[in-house]
A and B are shown apart, each in its own frame.
Chain A
Amino acid sequence: KAGVTQTPRYLIKTRGQQVTLSCSPISGHRSVSWYQQTPGQGLQFLFEYFSETQRNKGNFPGRFSGRQFSNSRSEMNVSTLELGDSALYLCASGRTSGAGETQYFGPGTRLLVL
């Protein structure tokens, strides 16, 4: 069974630009969550989607948005990029959206904002 895939793996952007990251969950999984990982802040939850609906949201500004398609694939968009947005963005998928369910992660997208 194929794992979670994320594209692109690496990205370099400049301040003020926008970026779209993509995540394809494990087949049969309907929940997709996004996390930002930085050396200073560690791993922080961005949002979770289940059956095309945002079920949960972290404490990030509105520049960070996402969506999920009917095939469970998800995209995350960051507009008006700032230097502090440089991070590893991880996507995770799960079968349901229940507490205690294991999330399986993709390899991440490394974003560098210059």
Chain B
Amino acid sequence: AQKITQTQPGMFVQEKEAVTLDCTYDTSDPSYGLFWYKQPSSGEMIFLIYQGSYDQQNATEGRYSLNFQKARKSANLVISASQLGDSAMYFCAMHGNNRKLIWGLGTSLAVNP
């Protein structure tokens, strides 16, 4: 069975510093995709970054990068130069052959001024 684990219920970071949000996954599918979404208090789920299981390089999107370590089955999100607007819930999700998105329980990030 597929599973996503986010072990950090809450994280604090100082504004302008970098922060790493952890995500480990489990799947037997040879092909899969890993996603990170941000959910502010308004509720909307905002797509941040995607990593395919066969992608050789780590994905990057602006201040977001995904530290993909396939052998360790981890897909950590790195946010550089944190901003106050980054305060939100962050979810890691995985998409396997059955196309269902399986979600972690999320990490609440608070950026301190």
Residues on A facing B (Cβ under 8 Å): 33, 35, 42-45, 48, 55-56, 58, 88, 90, 92, 97-108, 110
Contact partner of B37 (CB less than 8 A), chosen from A45, A99, A100, A105, is A105
B50 within 8 A of A: yes
In this complex, how many residues of chain B approach chain A with their Cβ under 8 Å: the count is: 27
For A105, the closest partner residue in chain B by CB is B45
Residues on B facing A (Cβ under 8 Å): 31-33, 35, 37, 42-47, 50, 52, 91, 93, 95-106
Check B32–A99 contact: CB distance below 8 A.
yes
Instruction: Give the residues in chain B near A90, CB-CB below 8 Å.
Output: 43, 45
Check A104–B47 contact: CB distance below 8 A.
yes
For B51, the closest partner residue in chain A by CB is A100
CA–CA, A108 to B91, complex, Å? 16
Check B99–A43 contact: CB distance below 8 A.
no
Taking A35-B101, A103-B47, A105-B37 as known contacts, 13 extra A-B pairs with beta carbons closer than 8 A to each other, sorted by chain A number, are A44-B103, A45-B102, A48-B100, A55-B99, A56-B99, A58-B100, A92-B45, A100-B33, A100-B50, A102-B35, A107-B44, A108-B43, A108-B45
CA–CA, A15 to B93, complex, Å? 32
CA–CA, A33 to B87, complex, Å? 26
Instruction: Give the residues in chain A near B106, CB-CB below 8 Å.
Output: 42
CA–CA, A35 to B97, complex, Å? 18
Q: Closest CB-CB distance, A50 to chain B, in whole Å?
A: 9
For B34, the closest partner residue in chain A by CB is A100
Q: Closest CB-CB distance, B79 to chain A, in whole Å?
A: 19
CA–CA, A91 to B100, complex, Å? 13
Check A100–B32 contact: CB distance below 8 A.
yes
Check A48–B44 contact: CB distance below 8 A.
no
For A96, the closest partner residue in chain B by CB is B99
Contact partner of B101 (CB less than 8 A), chosen from A55, A98, A103, A108, is A103
CA–CA, A98 to B104, complex, Å? 21
For A98, the closest partner residue in chain B by CB is B99
Q: Which 8 A-B pairs have the closest CB atoms?
A: A100-B33, A105-B45, A43-B103, A107-B44, A108-B43, A42-B105, A45-B100, A99-B99
